[in-house]
Amino acid sequence: MTVVEGIVEHGDARGRTIGFPTANLPLPGSGIEDGVWAAQVRIGAEEWAVAAVSVGRRRTFYTGEGPRLLEAHLLDFDGDLYGRTMQVELTAKLRGQQGFSSVQELTEQLHRDVEATRQWAAAHCPWLLAAPGLETPETVLA
């Protein structure tokens, strides 16, 4: 399992405009494999959520060597994460990174990625789907 921790930064806000807001983290080094992942996310010290996470260069919007970024779409989460510390545990790779010919094609794939993430979470951490942000794995297991 790969873990990335950092402070959530402002991005292009493009995800929000297509219905998939993301929390953006800078990527340290290059040891993290590009792709789309199911992840558990820890926000601060006590909040947890499930996320569909993209790691890569956003080929649909940037040609060539655009900036490399981790973008986490937290499922069923509504809150302001800018400036907060977030730890992302990349737990299951769903697919490789790819470019799309249109925003509609991208959005259709994002819906499939979110559904695949929900299915993964239902099997591996269902308590996070039941009450995102309220329980941690430690409180459920205690």
The pLDDT of 113-134, averaged and rounded, is 85
Find tokens 């993430």 and name the residue: 117
Please report where in the chains the tokens 């405009």 appear, as a residue. 17
CA neighbor of 99 nearest in space, from 49, 42, 51, 34:
34
pLDDT of 137 reads 45
59-108 pLDDT per residue, tens: 555 566 667 789 999 999 988 999 999 999 999 999 998 877 788 898 99
What's this model's pTM, rounded to 2 decimal places? 0.84
CATH-assigned architecture of domain 2-141:
Beta Barrel (2.40)
Tokens 């990625």 belong to residue? 113
Question: Half-sphere exposure of residue 12, counting CA atoms within 13 Å on the CB side?
Answer: 14
